[in-house]
Every structure is written in structure tokens, then in C-alpha cells.
Amino acid sequence: MMLEYQSGGENAMTKTEFDMTIYEMQAEISKTIAHPIRIAILHCLKDGEKTVNALVKTIGASQSNISQHLALMRQRQIVKTRKSGSTIYYRVSSPKISQACDMVREVLIEQLSHRQEIAKNMPT
């Protein structure tokens, strides 16, 4: 999908094509990880690979539920697998995915802290 827009300013081109492809891909990744369990899985995997059983113990969801989420994330290339015997280990496909999740989490913590500060300073 190509969008056209007019840009102002002396040095700007009058007509520019704006390629939305990368934004569409980013939206797809965002949709894929936009579930609390998937975010929890990514958080657990940021320090290294884990089995489904290890994730079940840490997160507390059922094995079938964790497996379904992992299958989706594997299909979308968010996580990768390694098989050792009959055991499958999952890991994040790129450390940048974990870094992005950590950055969003830090922003949320800052926002919560700011809200708490405002609430603390409100007159009663």
C-alpha cells in the first residue's frame, strides 16, 4: 500500500511516496505479542532458552495454553526452537525483541510512578 502526501517547506519535495510495508510488518509483530501470556513468555525467555514445562511452572498457565502461544510465536518467527532428544527448548529469535519489550515495560513503570506521584500530591 502506497500513500501519497504533500509536504511543506522550501527544501521538501512536492510529492513523495510513503511506503507502509515496514509499518504493516511492525503492526503484525505487535499484534502477535499483544497478549499478556505471550509477553510473559518473552520475559521468561530473555535470559535464555526454556522448555514448555519450565514456562508452565513460571507463568502458571496450562501446558496446552503455553504451547498454543509458543506455536503462534514460532510461526511468526518471534521465537525459535532447539530439540534435544525429546525435549524442545524455546528461545527469543532476536535479542532486540526482548529489548523492545523491556523498553515498553520501562515506559509503563515510569507512567505508573508518575501517576502515583500525582495521586500522592493531590489534596484530600
Domain 36-124 has CATH 1.10.260.40: no
Tens of pLDDT, residue by residue over 99-118, are 999 999 999 999 998 888 88
Question: How many C-beta atoms lie closer than 10 Å to residue 43's C-beta?
Answer: 16
Residues 78, 90 contacting (CB under 8 angstroms): no
User: How high is the pLDDT of residue 41?
Assistant: 97
Tens of pLDDT, residue by residue over 33-89, are 999 999 999 999 998 999 999 999 999 999 999 999 999 999 999 999 999 999 999
Domain boundaries, the chain: 1-34, 36-124
Q: How far apart are CA 101 and CA 106, in angstroms?
A: 9
Q: Which residues, listed in sequence order, are joined to residue 81 by a DSSP beta bridge?
A: 90
User: How high is the pLDDT of residue 17?
Assistant: 61
User: How high is the pLDDT of residue 4?
Assistant: 46
Q: Cell numbers at residue 87, please?
A: 525435549
Residues 33, 39 contacting (CB under 8 angstroms): yes
* Prediction pTM value: 0.76
Provide the CB-side half-sphere exposure for 33 (13 A, CA): 20
